[in-house]
Amino acid sequence: MHIKKILFTISLSLLGFTTLIHGSKTAESQESTEPLLAASEDTDEQAFQENVNQLFDPSIAGIDTTSWNNGKINTVWFDYRTMDTTIAIPLVDSSCSRVFTLPCNGYITSPFGPRNGFWHFGTDIKVKVGDTIRCVFNGLVRIIQNDKRGYGKVVVVRHHNGLETLYGHLSKTLVKTNDTICSGEVIGLGGNTGRSTGSHLHLEVRYCGEPFNPACIIDFEKASLLNDTLLLAKNHFSYLTELRKTIYHTIRKGDNLGAIARRYRTSVRSICALNGIKSTTILKIGRKIVVRKPAQIEIAGKSTIKDSTQSRL
């Protein structure tokens, strides 16, 4: 692995990559405060992916490195709407030491699902600052980041068959990007960093970039997996359909942007950006305006999405 890391760095230099950016479906709804590799639009993605494939030989790493990206947390490369069959994902395999470990001990303070009108994309588990946080499955570390306005100190690990786990709000990270790590290995310490009120672990489980409910694979009370194999189906992601609808509002008598923003839990600034208007623009009765765009297809930086992603954490 050490040699691979060196090769990885050398290859990046040779290819002139200051960046690691992948597929056009990439959605970055959390701003990266300390990207390990800065973004550039000019990257030759195909060449880069080939390079990654070589460095992480699947026969050795056993991990799908499609859309491998060390700079962006959200790298969606899977369209759940195209799922027409159930995908069987083996989670553990004792023959090759692929086991499961609960990331930490603690009770759930907030489950995956709707929360205060927004969507919470993970499971929050109560931990104290400094508590040990362990990797759930064997994997390859894709992200180490300090997302000060979001996940805080965060680790994302890619596992076999496209699953990823994300560990947010850590006080300290103890692994490096591109590290191969085992289930049970300590990846960091519990904390209260980023947009967090009270120390806890925000745990996400994702398939090819799309989060689904961690409780679909983990029985948190029994500290074990529900099943050795996950049968993943479209319904695991059905919540996204509603979440990604563009929401409109038709102007009525007496409306003002402040009231509309409050009603849809967004901001006047965001509505203005979405519709190309100013906060002082007079809106005619009957005009249809966009009040929210789908969260995951926005481009980072052109952010009208902060409001709709606040509950990710």
Tokens 């040990």 belong to residue: 132
Amino acid identity for residue 94 in this structure = S
Beta bridge partner(s), residue 133: 188
- 298 touches Zn ion by CB under 5 A: no
Contact 56, 8 (CB under 8 A): no
**Closest among 183, 157, 174 to 65, alpha carbons compared:** 157
Distance separating alpha carbons of residues 149 and 114, to the nearest angstrom: 21
Q: Minimum Å distance from CB 122 to Zn ion? A: 5
**Residue placing its CB nearer to Zn ion in the complex, 125 or 289:** 125
Distance separating alpha carbons of residues 100 and 87, to the nearest angstrom: 19
Distance separating alpha carbons of residues 62 and 253, to the nearest angstrom: 60
Residue 251 — φ and ψ, nearest 5°?
-65, 130
The alpha carbon of residue 127 and the mean position of all alpha carbons in its chain are separated, in whole angstroms, by 21
**Residue placing its CB nearer to Zn ion in the complex, 158 or 200:** 200
- 124 touches Zn ion by CB under 5 A: yes
**Residue placing its CB nearer to Zn ion in the complex, 68 or 220:** 220
- 206 touches Zn ion by CB under 5 A: no
- 158 touches Zn ion by CB under 5 A: no
- 191 touches Zn ion by CB under 5 A: no
- Of the candidate spans 89-97, 178-186, 194-202, 245-253, the one that interacts with Zn ion by CB under 5 A turns out to be 194-202
- Of the candidate spans 20-28, 80-88, 201-209, 269-277, the one that interacts with Zn ion by CB under 5 A turns out to be 201-209
Q: Minimum Å distance from CB 169 to Zn ion? A: 8
**Closest among 267, 307, 259, 305 to 283, alpha carbons compared:** 259
**Residue placing its CB nearer to Zn ion in the complex, 62 or 191:** 191
- Of the candidate spans 77-85, 121-129, 244-252, 292-300, the one that interacts with Zn ion by CB under 5 A turns out to be 121-129
Contact 204, 214 (CB under 8 A): yes
**Residue placing its CB nearer to Zn ion in the complex, 124 or 307:** 124
DSSP, collapsed to helix, strand or coil, labels residue 312 as helix
- Of the candidate spans 72-80, 128-136, 202-210, 254-262, the one that interacts with Zn ion by CB under 5 A turns out to be 202-210
Structure tokens at 11: 């290859």
- 202 touches Zn ion by CB under 5 A: yes
Q: Minimum Å distance from CB 312 to Zn ion? A: 7
Structure tokens at 101: 């470990």
Beta bridge partner(s), residue 167: 155, 203
Tokens 């508590």 belong to residue: 131
**Residue placing its CB nearer to Zn ion in the complex, 153 or 202:** 202
- 122 touches Zn ion by CB under 5 A: yes
Q: Minimum Å distance from CB 195 to Zn ion? A: 9
**Residue placing its CB nearer to Zn ion in the complex, 82 or 197:** 197
Q: Which residues bind Zn ion (CB under 5 A)?
A: 122, 124, 202, 313
